[in-house]
């Protein structure tokens, strides 16, 4: 029987690619988070991607009353940031997502958790760096019943050292439906083309020498 | 100005004592979690305790669809367990609570997080052991903007090596309103007196040589 894996699916390019990598070896259960993000559109896209991939999914709602992040607090501007860690940073986000994934993984007997974190073409978020994931893996061994009994839930970050162009090329080989993925932080009808997330996406497709199917579709 | 701390407050004996320890040095913001637990009564008690201590609080609702824990899944019996890790175990619970506390602490500029975990008179949950907290502290340094900039959010576990009797004696000196605390997993009108949580509470008061004010009040 194929082992189960919990996959964190935001609806963006990276997590969709991660799901298609995970499903080669695991039966995937996708976790989609509704944490009050501005770009709620990504939730609808994530559901479509999960369905298309043949995976089960669940939308988990978390009440996260943060004032400092422009992804949640609409009074703050998204902008593009030259700061090392921009205002779109959601404190503790990946730690929260991973801890809920850990809880569900242990509950359903899944052997793995997949997250599409990426430390190259990214916005400098601390919880996207390899050293953060090393520390989380250590925590997992101590946090779980499985860990106490000598078993383990493995954390996979298959994109951690890839550029956006490499991710896209890999994803195209796996059939990732990029036209369904949503990256823009603003969550309007069309991608704004100006936020950090749009910037890295455009750079990735340009460097991969491929037209972004999301933009093609919308013309 | 006094620094802020985020305190995880369940409404039980340990977390109430922890709040009263934390408020000696910090301005406390209490996080109370509604995660679908059977004993919702603890939430109401936690609110009363927070108010009485003069602290702000917020109830955070999390959708946690776990089947394996008898604290959430009403089809399972609470019982008393001789197993090393009983069925009341909620996978990943403290990791989820701490990660949300971390997120809010960073957002509000708090310097500390307090949790009333206890590794002596406890039910053997893996996320109550000192080694788990060492790993979490390490993670915090890597997970946050503050950590990247050289600052730190400190994690305090002031009860980790105390017996229940020691906790109660300490709390009484600090004026903890134990009559308001709720421990019973069943969450009925009165404590069941039979679950693990009632067992450890009764043991603690007995060993401290004090009558449990919750039981006195209810007669």
Residue with tokens 């600052």, as numbered in its chain: B151
pLDDT at res. A125: 86
A99–B107 C-beta distance less than 8 A: no
pLDDT > 90 in chain B, percent: 71
Confidence of residue B119 (pLDDT cuts 50, 70, 90): confident
Mutate to test the interface with B, among A33, A95, A122, A134 (most CBs of B within 10 A): A95
Confidence of residue A150 (pLDDT cuts 50, 70, 90): low
C-alpha distances in angstroms, B184 versus A4, A179, A219, B99, B164?
34, 51, 60, 25, 15
CA distance B120 to A166: 50
Domain ranges of chain B: 4-218
CATH 3.40.50.620 fits domain A4-218: yes
Which residues in chain B are contacts of A127 at CB distance < 8 A? Answer: 142-143
pLDDT in tens, B58-110: 999 998 989 888 888 888 887 666 567 788 888 999 999 999 999 999 999 99
B60–A63 C-beta distance less than 8 A: yes
A107–B67 C-beta distance less than 8 A: yes
The structure tokens listed for B150 are 């050289």
**What is the pLDDT averaged over residues B2-20?**
97
Q: What is the CA radius of gyration of chain B?
A: 17
Q: For B143, which residue in chain A has the nearest alpha carbon?
A: A127
B89–A145 C-beta distance less than 8 A: yes
CA distance B80 to B167: 22
CA distance B132 to B121: 17
pLDDT > 70 in chain A, percent: 94
The minimum CA-CA distance between A99 and chain B, rounded to whole Å, is: 5
pLDDT in tens, A29-71: 999 999 989 888 999 999 999 999 999 999 999 989 899 888 8
pLDDT in tens, A81-106: 656 778 888 899 999 999 999 999 99
CA distance B65 to A72: 24
Which residues in chain A are contacts of B132 at CB distance < 8 A? Answer: 139, 142-143
Q: For A32, which residue in chain B has the nearest alpha carbon?
A: B63
B208 vs A218, higher pLDDT:
B208
The structure tokens listed for B87 are 């069925």
Length of chain B as a residue count: 219
Say how many CB pairs under 8 Å bridge A and B. Answer: 143
Q: What are the φ/ψ torsions at residue A40 (nearest 5 degrees)? A: -60, -20
pLDDT at B218 over 60: no
CA distance B213 to B202: 11
**What is the pLDDT averaged over residues A112-132?**
89
pLDDT at res. A75: 87
**Mean pLDDT score of chain B:** 91
Question: How many other C-beta atoms are found inside a 10 Å radius of the C-beta of residue A103?
Answer: 26
**What is the pLDDT averaged over residues B169-186?**
95
Lowest mean pLDDT among B37-41, B94-98, B170-174: B37-41
pLDDT at res. A187: 81
CA distance B22 to A207: 53
pLDDT at B20 over 70: yes
Residue with tokens 């959430």, as numbered in its chain: B72
**Cβ proximity of B103 and A93 under 8 Å:** yes
pLDDT at A80 over 70: no
pLDDT at res. A82: 58
Confidence of residue B46 (pLDDT cuts 50, 70, 90): very high
């Amino acid at each position: 029987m194929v082992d189960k894996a919990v996959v964190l699916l935001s609806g963006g390019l990276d997590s969709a690619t991660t799901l298609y990598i995970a499903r080669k070896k695991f039966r995937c259960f996708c976790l989609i988070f509704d944490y009050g993000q501005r770009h709620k559109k990504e939730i609808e896209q994530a559901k479509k991607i999960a369905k298309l991939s043949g995976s089960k999914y669940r939308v988990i709602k978390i009440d996260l009353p943060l004032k400092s992040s422009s992804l949640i607090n609409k009074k703050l501007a998204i902008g593009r940031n030259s700061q090392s860690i921009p205002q779109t940073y959601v404190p503790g986000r990946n730690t929260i997502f991973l801890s809920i994934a850990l809880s569900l993984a242990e509950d359903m007997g899944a052997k793995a958790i997949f997250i599409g974190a990426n430390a190259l073409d990214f916005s400098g978020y601390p919880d996207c760096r390899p050293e953060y994931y090393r520390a989380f893996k250590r925590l997992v061994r101590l946090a779980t019943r499985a860990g106490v009994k000598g078993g383990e839930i493995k954390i996979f970050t298959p994109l951690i050292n890839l550029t956006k162009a490499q991710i896209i090329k890999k994803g195209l080989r796996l059939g990732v439906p990029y036209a369904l993925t949503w990256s823009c932080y603003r969550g309007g009808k069309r991608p704004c083309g100006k936020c950090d997330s749009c910037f890295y996406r455009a750079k990735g497709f340009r460097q991969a020498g491929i037209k972004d199917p999301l933009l093609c579709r919308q013309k």
